[in-house]
Amino acid sequence: MGRSRLAFDELRSLGQLYRLHAAALSRARHQDDDPEATRHLNALCVRAYTALYAAAPPRRSHRAGRAAALADALARTWRFQALAWGLLLAGVLVGALLARGDPAAVPALVPPGLGHSEAGLEALVTSPEERERFLAREARPAARNAFFGSWLFAHNVQVGLLSFATGILAGVPTVLLQLYNGLVLGGFAWIFLRDPSPWPFLAWILPHGVPELTAVTLCAAGGLALGQAVAAPGRRGRRRALRAAVDPALLLFGLAIPLLAVAATLESFVRESALGTVTRLCVAGIELALLLAGLFQVRRMARRRDVDRSWLAELGAPDPAP
């Protein structure tokens, strides 16, 4: 019980009892003839001293509490994040191999809903000049970029939400969607990575690809966490497993939303701009550095543990029998 919950008379009595028991503890230690009584008196004095003199722990702000909860969620779901990245990379590899084996299959891998027609994709596959024209740097009006960015943000949020929400179906749709995202990316990247220099394409895709792929993977990790709670809840049961998985999964999805907004902004105002290849690669490098720094900070926060106070349970033990 803290000092704030004690009346003045109770505090005065507690102080008197603390001094009496401290004197008794000193005599018991000096005589050293009853170790059990010494231990009990020591526990009582520690408890009284804590109530009288120990400072109350500082209250964490709501912002610090949310940051700690997010760090804990990221730490607890790292296996699902690794699995989501693995599925994405596996899809990229399979998509690139399929496109390499049959270039005519590229239009089947890249859906027209992404803004690339079948004829346009065929031209990109067969014509280096068309690929160079596609990657050409060109400044565009800010209003057009803003409209394009809002459309991208809405589209990517839909993709992330679908990957997250369908995880409740034992995670199967989330796995398929993550693989499909990788297939699309691998098939499209193969078109440009065949060229002697891959830097123009990397400068075209990395500035917005780093936050976008990270956000989509976080959504998929949240969906996989829900899927495990449904498919393999363990001894605690499906209801308790879902309750334990919902909060960290929602935090992952919540973190993905601002990342998608950043990705849409970069895709609109960096990719659709006249910035050079080196500048764009520098932007991607800064993003990677910030991402690694964030992961390092999350690791530090997740490793913080409260001091073990289980020994205080001894203070509530009854007095030893005379």
Average pLDDT over residues 264-280: 88
Task: Judge whether residue 76 has pLDDT over 90.
Answer: no
pTM, entire model: 0.73
- What is the model's pLDDT at position 217? 96
Each residue's pLDDT tens digit, 285-300: 999 999 889 888 877 7
- What is the model's pLDDT at position 321? 47
- What is the model's pLDDT at position 156? 92
Contact yes or no for 227/169 (Cβ under 8 A)? yes
Task: Judge whether residue 322 has pLDDT over 50.
Answer: no
Which contacts of 117-124 are long-range, i.e. CB under 8 A and separated by 24 or more positions?
121/191, 124/191, 124/192
Structure-model confidence comparison of residues 267 and 213, the more confident one: 213
Average pLDDT over residues 200-229: 94
- What is the model's pLDDT at position 54? 66
Q: Which residues have CB under 8 Å from 212's CB, separation 6+?
A: 156, 259, 260, 263, 267
Average pLDDT over residues 89-102: 94
Residue 267 is classified by DSSP as: I
Q: For residues 105 and 111, what is the distance between their CA atoms, to the nearest angstrom?
A: 11
Burial of 313 (0-12, 13-18, 19+ CB in 10 A): exposed
Average pLDDT over residues 42-61: 71
Average pLDDT over residues 225-229: 94
Residues in the chain: 322
Residue 192 CA: distances (Å) to CA of 126, 131, 186, 210, 249 = 11, 7, 10, 18, 35
Each residue's pLDDT tens digit, 168-200: 999 999 999 999 999 999 999 999 998 888 899
Lowest mean pLDDT among 121-125, 184-188, 203-207: 121-125
Q: To the nearest whole number, what is the mean pLDDT of the chain?
A: 84
Task: Judge whether residue 309 has pLDDT over 50.
Answer: no
